[in-house]
């Protein structure tokens, strides 16, 4: 019964979360440029030395990993009950598979720091950084903006270890990966190389735990998305003027109505839509969406520093990036909800 109640409490938080009034939010740890944070209002005592808590790993891309864990304070153990990737406005991107085992974390790790904080609450550790915010969403947004503006430790591309596309990317032989990125740089799809296509199928099967058919649009879409994104970012940010965080932040802070035309176009790749249907669809809403995304202040400033491309070239590359991220986002969400998926 206690576990059922715990999961129900977590589900309730995931559906609605956020503090109604101004709250003090604590920074648990810095990992390079990113931040782990917790709102003590989201810690609940379950009795018997057990507690539930949710906390966040905030990225400059305006995505955050939401962890909902249970803590055995007497035993010094914790277990993951739920995990979700959300945007900084708390809208969900996809749910992730979690481990079902209790773990005893090293006190020096982030998990160990979280365990110590949760079990000590309402007495927070001394000298811990804190911020007052009107809502959790406001905190996540301002924190992501602050990290992005600093640019500290920001790499050219983003790596998401929970994604199928990144799983394939990380295991791809260097020669095939380089050829795929070279193809993108030359304006060709990364799948132009037959050997690359075959390797995507092989690695995809290992990453999702089931065989991959030649026409598996989800696995192919996840793989093509990451290579297209990384190849395009490399062209836009030759001197690190534009990083993927600038592009991803514009995407993740945009209204759903702005992202919708790109998501709808990308969805056609996973349906029975013909090439003619795709080619003849109305592209004006997509063009309008790209212009809106490009007008995001941080991205607009970053693009203004790119001197080796004209405005038309920049717009084409930005359009290609957002189509790639839309394609990958839909593929990853569908793969994450399938019976077999990566950790």
Strand duo 23-31 + 34-47: pairing: antiparallel
Give me the pLDDT at residue 9, please. Answer: 44
Q: Which residues make Cβ contacts (< 8 Å) with residue 190, sequence separation at least 6?
A: 180, 181, 183, 184, 196, 223, 224, 227, 228, 231
CA-nearest of 44, 38, 42 to 26 is 38
The whole model's pTM is what? 0.84
Residue 340 sits at φ, ψ, to 5 deg, of: -110, 125
Mean pLDDT of each 10-residue bin along the chain, 343 residues long: 42 44 87 90 95 95 95 96 94 85 94 96 86 92 90 66 89 93 87 90 91 85 91 83 92 95 86 61 88 93 91 93 93 79 45
Give me the pLDDT at residue 240, please. Answer: 76
Cα separation, 271 vs 76, in Å, equals 48
Give me the pLDDT at residue 11, please. Answer: 42
DSSP symbols for 76-119: TEEEEEEEEEEETT--EEEEE----S-B---TTSHHHHHHHHHH
What 8-state DSSP symbol labels residue 124? P
Q: Which residues make Cβ contacts (< 8 Å) with residue 215, sequence separation at least 6?
A: none
């Amino acid at each position: 019964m206690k576990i059922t109640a715990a999961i129900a409490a977590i589900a309730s938080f995931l559906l609605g979360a956020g503090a109604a009034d101004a709250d003090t939010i604590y920074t648990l740890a810095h990992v390079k440029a990113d931040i782990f944070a917790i709102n003590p209002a989201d810690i609940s005592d379950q009795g018997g030395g057990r507690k539930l808590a949710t906390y966040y790993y905030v990225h400059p891309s305006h995505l955050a990993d939401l962890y909902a864990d249970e803590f055995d304070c007497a035993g010094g153990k914790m277990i993951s009950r739920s995990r979700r990737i959300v945007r900084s406005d708390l809208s969900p991107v996809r749910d992730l598979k979690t481990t079902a085992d209790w773990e005893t974390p090293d006190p020096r790790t982030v998990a160990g720091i979280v365990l110590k904080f949760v079990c000590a609450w309402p007495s927070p550790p001394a000298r811990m950084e804190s911020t007052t915010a009107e809502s959790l969403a406001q905190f996540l947004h301002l924190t992501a903006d602050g990290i992005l503006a600093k640019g500290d430790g920001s790499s050219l591309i983003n790596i998401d270890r929970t994604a199928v596309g990144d799983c394939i990317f990380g295991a791809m032989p260097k020669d095939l990966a380089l050829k795929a990125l070279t193809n993108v740089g030359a304006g060709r799809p990364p799948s132009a190389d037959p050997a690359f296509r075959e390797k995507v199928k092989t690695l995809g099967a290992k990453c999702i735990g089931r065989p991959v058919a030649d026409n598996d649009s989800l696995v192919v879409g996840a793989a093509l998305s990451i290579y297209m994104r990384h190849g395009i970012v490399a062209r836009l940010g030759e001197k690190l003027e534009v990083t993927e965080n600038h592009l991803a932040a514009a995407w993740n802070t945009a209204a759903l109505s702005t992202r919708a035309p790109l998501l709808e176009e990308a969805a056609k790749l996973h349906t029975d839509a013909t090439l003619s249907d795709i080619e003849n669809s109305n592209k004006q809403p997509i063009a309008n969406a790209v212009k809106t995304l490009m007008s995001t202040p941080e991205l607009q400033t970053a693009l203004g520093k790119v001197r080796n491309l004209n405005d038309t070239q920049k717009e084409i590359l930005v359009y290609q990036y957002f189509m790639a991220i839309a394609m990958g986002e839909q593929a990853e969400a569908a793969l994450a909800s399938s019976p077999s998926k990566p950790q």
